[in-house]
Structure 1
Amino acid sequence: MRAFLLLFLLFPVLELYVFFKVSTAIGFFPALLLIIAGSMLGVLVVRVAGLATALKARESLNRGELPAQQMLEGLMLALGGGLLVLPGFISDVAGLLLLFPPVRRFLVYRLRKRAEEQALRQRAFADEFDPVVRPGTHKPLGREPNVIEGEFEHRDK
């Protein structure tokens, strides 16, 4: 949490520093035009990526598949477009990187792998408390279910 707060506070300072360096190298107005062009490209990418992702997801659903890959790639495209909309050169470079398909696929692969590992870890932890008797064992794992023993008598009218 502290790292995120530090990054949140440090990021605008870094963006201003890079803008200052670029504007001294190429001039203020060309640097400003680059930032405006990057923002316009970001808006365009967000609009097109959203529509394309929705269409790909609909095709996947029509085939009976889960559109996880398309949704994650669409999320990466939207994130890239959002970074392009932010004013600054650092965010523009990060946004442009997310627009390249190999970078997007690599990040989606890493995200899915991490999510699967997390799910496996949670499932393994949950199995320790599963009260079901496993085949080949005589006692349930974890705590035993609540059982109330008693006698009953069935009466018909």
Structure 2
Amino acid sequence: MRLFGPILVLTLIEIALFITVGGWLGLGLSLLVILGTAVLGSGLLRLQGQRMALDLRQAMNGIGDPLSPMAQRGLIMMAAALLILPGFLGDTLGLLLLLPPVRHMIIAMVGRRVQMHRPPMNDPHRHGVVIDADFVELDEPPSGPPPARRSGWTQD
């Protein structure tokens, strides 16, 4: 329910931009722009998916740090998705995400925000607490039915 308001506002903005920019460009050119950005977005999405898989494979082999290239590729994939969706606002945001300085700024902002919300190392309430312990292997229990136990409720 929280997303209904923003989605409604974005849809109304897209409709208003379609009417305004469509009136200025004309129907044919507007459709050409929308279809052209959709083709560009689908091509980018295919290419970035392949490159992200390659980056992940190289990182797993110990060749490099996967975080920055994967964040870059993820933002490019988001840009491609925005380009595929019809509308001038989504196309504008998608084209902005294709600019490397914009992507670097977004990654830096998200990185700072993640650092701010990270719990301190000595916080006992943080998730992922490691407990150090020793263990002792016990002998296997004998096979067969367990021995009968007295319940304490009966007298023998």
Q: TM-score, normalised by structure 2?
A: 0.72
Q: State yes or no: 1:75 paired with 2:74.
A: yes
Q: How does 1:82-97 map to 2 (within 5 A)?
A: 82-97=81-96
Q: Mark the CA change 1:14 to 1:61 in structure 2 (over 3 Å): closer, same or farther.
A: same
Name the structure with the higher helix share.
1
Q: How far apart, CA to CA, are the structure 1 residues paired with 2:26 and 2:122?
A: 58
Aligned to 2:117: 118
- The list of structure 1 runs, each at least 4 consecutive aligned residues, that deviate by more than 6 angstroms after superposition, is none
Q: Give the number of the structure whose alpha-carbon radius of gyration is greater.
A: 2
The alignment yields a C-alpha RMSD, in angstroms, of 2.3
Q: CA deviation at 1:19?
A: 0.8
Unaligned stretches of 5+ residues in structure 1 = 133-157
Unaligned stretches of 5+ residues in structure 2 = 132-156
Higher relative contact order (Cα pairs below 8 Å, separated by 6+ residues): 2
| SS of residue paired to 2:117 | helix
Q: TM-score, normalised by structure 1?
A: 0.72
| Equivalent residues, number | 128
**Deviates further, 62-71 or 81-90:** 62-71
Quote the sequence identity (%): 29
Q: Mark the CA change 1:6 to 1:118 in structure 2 (over 3 Å): closer, same or farther.
A: same
